Amino acid sequence: MSIKQNVNELLSELPSGVQLVAAAKTMEASKVIEAIDAGVEIIGENYIQEAEEKYNIIGNRTKWHFIGHLQRNKVKKAVQIFDLIETVDSVEIASVIDKRCKEICKIMPVLIEINSGEEEQKSGVMPECAVSVIKEISQFGNIKIMGLMTMGPLAGEPEESRPYFIKTRDLFEYIKSLDLTGVEMKYLSMGMTNSYRIAMQEGANIVRIGSKIFGPRIN
Ligand SMILES: *Cc1c(COP(=O)(O)O)cnc(C)c1O
């Protein structure tokens, strides 16, 4: 199957309210362009340097979402390239994003990454800390909180992801019900190649899909 066929198949399957992010880590610019030509409107990248190389070739014909773990020293570049940062997981990194955005007069839309599996070594905000972290981040003038993102523990069977998607969706609905100033709970980003159908059943309206579009990653 070609990238074009894969994208067409996916786009015809996703309901209109669900946005497709093509997760393009390790994929060269020509493949990303193939996906864009086939109808992908958002590219997800995990590494700033890799994203920058492709951004310099492709530019703003597509939207760019950051879906990796963001380090402080990469924020300045990140805020120049990305339209949405999906993986904000601390007040500290948010404060750096805010500072760098002020310098370029940009309001950065972000999602808060939730560590829905509550795994010590994983990134993401623990569910029980989400409200307080979101309240603090919402004070930053150059950041706009637009929703939540989660990975969930790496599961064998797709069905094993469901409880973590449900937990994140419940949190999303709860935070929405609080109606916090400057916080919009609009996007819920959950699900990858093996789990996107379950994620959509549980309320995801952004799915991040790599291998089903580009084929398996070799390196
Ligand atoms: C790589 C990646 C994906 C896509 O993974 P696939 O299993 O290839 O679909 C989604 N989200 C994040 C954060 C990723 O790093």
Query: HEC profile for 32-57?
Result: HHHHHHCCCCEEEECCHHHHHHHHHH
Asked if residues 146 and 184 have their Cβ atoms less than 8 Å apart, the reply is yes
- The total number of residues shown for the chain amounts to 219
pLDDT at 59: 98
What is the mean predicted confidence (pLDDT) over 108-123?
97
**Is a pLDDT exceeding 70 seen at residue 219?**
no
Sorted by where each begins, the domain ranges of the chain are 3-214
Q: Which CATH number fits domain 3-214: 3.40.640.10, 3.40.190.10, 3.10.129.10, 3.20.20.10?
A: 3.20.20.10
Burial of 85 (0-12, 13-18, 19+ CB in 10 A): buried
C-alpha 201 – ligand 1 centre gap (Å): 18
Q: Could you report the per-residue pLDDT of 27-75, keeping only the tens digit for each? A: 999 999 999 999 999 999 999 999 999 999 999 999 999 999 999 999 9
Give the CB-side neighbour count of residue 41, counting CA atoms within 13 A: 6
- pLDDT-derived band at 218 (thresholds 50, 70, 90) equals confident
CA 171, 174, 180, 186 torsion: positive or negative? positive
Pick the residue whose CA is nearest to atom 13 on ligand 1.
Answer: 67
Asked if residues 176 and 215 have their Cβ atoms less than 8 Å apart, the reply is no
Asked if residues 90 and 132 have their Cβ atoms less than 8 Å apart, the reply is no
Work out the percent of the chain whose per-residue pLDDT is above 90.
97
- pLDDT-derived band at 155 (thresholds 50, 70, 90) equals confident
C-alpha 73 – ligand 1 centre gap (Å): 23
Substitution site in 67, 207, 213 for ligand 1 pocket (most atoms within 8 Å of beta carbon)? 67
What is the mean predicted confidence (pLDDT) over 132-152?
98
Considering the chain, what is the average pLDDT of its residues? 97
Asked if residues 44 and 24 have their Cβ atoms less than 8 Å apart, the reply is yes
Please indicate whether residue 192, judged by its CB atom, sits closer than 6 Å to ligand 1: yes
Please indicate whether residue 26, judged by its CB atom, sits closer than 6 Å to ligand 1: no
Q: Could you report the per-residue pLDDT of 162-193, keeping only the tens digit for each? A: 999 999 999 999 999 999 999 999 999 999 99
C-alpha 65 – ligand 1 centre gap (Å): 12
**Is a pLDDT exceeding 70 seen at residue 6?**
yes
Asked if residues 191 and 168 have their Cβ atoms less than 8 Å apart, the reply is no
Rounded to two decimals, the pTM is 0.97
Q: What is the CA radius of gyration of the chain?
A: 17
C-alpha 83 – ligand 1 centre gap (Å): 18
